[in-house]
Structure 1
């Protein structure tokens, strides 16, 4: 198994045998949930010499509040891929992570940046159940990557009529069950054989499977396992987010935005219990991605 890497902002991942752990606690307030482009680039410059050039295992980043760090991990692949030798990006997430955010980059806006990368041929966001794609929030989504056919939303049990009215129907694949969705996606991959970067936010899983900081989707672990197996050796990099952690922001705008996202306070006993369950799931995912 390739060496897993833990970007340790919030101490939520726990111990992983053989992992390279990079302490980033000093960056937690600046980076968590969202940050300016200046702070994002500062962290990237700090991380770049600490990471192996290539051939490392899955990167565990802690809470889904750090999912925008996937952009940095994907950007690093530019040294190996190009527009004539591209990759695809497959993201499991209950949210599109393609929302407008005028203040820099945050955990719900990074996908549009990935879609701009010349060596990324397409981005698939799998398992979206969130109201972020509902009619009331349609114009909060960045529409350009959808219009440019660089981004596809794979959605479950959601009314997305607005996509039809805006001429975006082909950018949406809508399903009534997770089994149906995964089968359809795997069928599209059968003859594709593209190098694939895989990003997993565990909030795509049902809350009956695992607990996260965010509202959750409808998938089971076997849906992830089936997709990983189907992609097989085409997976050239991966990351895992969606750990459960508790944090109180010092920055006022982060306190306000996180409260709007209804992230609940978690009792200490439940936090430890659910983190233990998360840890077991991480072991499963690392074995599958090994």
Structure 2
């Protein structure tokens, strides 16, 4: 059994038995939220030197680091190709496919994944964010949607406008989380393609766990049911969505972070909420490894 990896950017991931911890705290301020492509490439070299060839689920801390999933997926290029492709399945309350002109951002990385030759399709499950509503449609990157490489699976947001401009195939809307997961798993039932699974816990309801970002509607069992159904095909996975308090040293990052209106975290709640996160991580890791 391959051991989990903790990429320790922000000290938010608790101790996990048999996990290998990679100390990347010195990269937190550079990488967190977003970074230049040059900085991203430099960190890619750090990962190549730090990660073993084979490993289990990678835990990366706050969802502010979700763009690191791109680097983990890129590592699979040596095993897969356009003739032997994989799918990428992402649980996230946001599309992570937004325009970002200054490099790579935790909300922009999905379009890069969709452009990889060995990725046949990307599914983002559980979106309730108005990032995919008509008021923000111009902020999305359209190429993967138009080319049928990316599908948004959403709840509680009006996406009827997409059908009117010929993008109905890329915007799937459901009345309940149960309907969303049932439809996704039904469509996946006959697929044999390997899957990379990325989980941002902001897809979950605040009744389940608290994160750094506005949150979705899913329950823990939606994640567990999906893992159980596609587990024989999972060839890699990561988990983000931990809680940590951060003040960027860079004024531009402070500005962008304030524009995204991330909810503030009370220090009094932080430890209790991190403990909830830790228990959920153990549950997810058990489902992914047993």
* Both structures adopt the same fold (TM-score exceeding 0.5): yes
Q: How far has the Cα of 1:161 moved from its partner?
A: 2.5
The answer to whether the aligner puts 1:244 opposite 2:243 as a matched pair is yes
**Partner of 1:45 in structure 2?**
45
5+ residue gaps, structure 1, are none
**Partner of 2:12 in structure 1?**
12
Contact 2:214 2:263 in 1 (8 A): no
**Partner of 2:26 in structure 1?**
26
CA RMSD of aligned residues (A): 0.7
Alignment of 1:150-229 (within 5 A): 150-229=149-228
Q: Distance in 1 between matches of 2:74 and 2:221?
A: 29
Q: Distance in 1 between matches of 2:12 and 2:268?
A: 14
Q: Distance in 1 between matches of 2:25 and 2:49?
A: 18
Alignment of 1:89-100 (within 5 A): 89-100=88-99
Contact 1:138 1:162 in 2 (8 A): no
- Give the secondary structure class of the aligned counterpart of 2:13: coil
Q: How far has the Cα of 1:157 moved from its partner?
A: 2.0
The answer to whether the aligner puts 1:258 opposite 2:257 as a matched pair is yes
Q: Distance in 2 between matches of 1:184 and 1:285?
A: 22
**Partner of 2:61 in structure 1?**
62
Contact 1:65 1:107 in 2 (8 A): yes
Runs of 4+ in 1 over 2 A off after TM superposition: none
Q: How far has the Cα of 1:232 moved from its partner?
A: 1.6
Q: Distance in 2 between matches of 1:60 and 1:268?
A: 22
Contact 2:9 2:27 in 1 (8 A): yes
- Give the secondary structure class of the aligned counterpart of 2:41: helix
Q: Distance in 2 between matches of 1:166 and 1:143?
A: 12
Q: Distance in 1 between matches of 2:190 and 2:5?
A: 31
Q: Distance in 2 between matches of 1:128 and 1:22?
A: 31
**Partner of 1:116 in structure 2?**
115
- Give the secondary structure class of the aligned counterpart of 1:155: strand
**Partner of 2:103 in structure 1?**
104
The superposition leaves residues 150-180 of structure 1 with CA deviations (integer Å, 9 ceiling, x where unpaired) of 0000011211123122210011111010000
**Partner of 2:234 in structure 1?**
235
TM-score, scaled to structure 1: 0.98
Q: Distance in 1 between matches of 2:161 and 2:37?
A: 31
Q: Distance in 1 between matches of 2:149 and 2:134?
A: 21
Q: Distance in 2 between matches of 1:86 and 1:193?
A: 10
Q: How far has the Cα of 1:50 moved from its partner?
A: 1.1
Q: Which moved more, 1:154-163 or 1:89-98?
A: 154-163
Q: Distance in 1 between matches of 2:155 and 2:168?
A: 15
Aligned residues: 289
Contact 1:204 1:219 in 2 (8 A): yes
- Give the secondary structure class of the aligned counterpart of 1:237: strand
- Give the secondary structure class of the aligned counterpart of 1:154: strand
Q: How far has the Cα of 1:14 moved from its partner?
A: 1.2
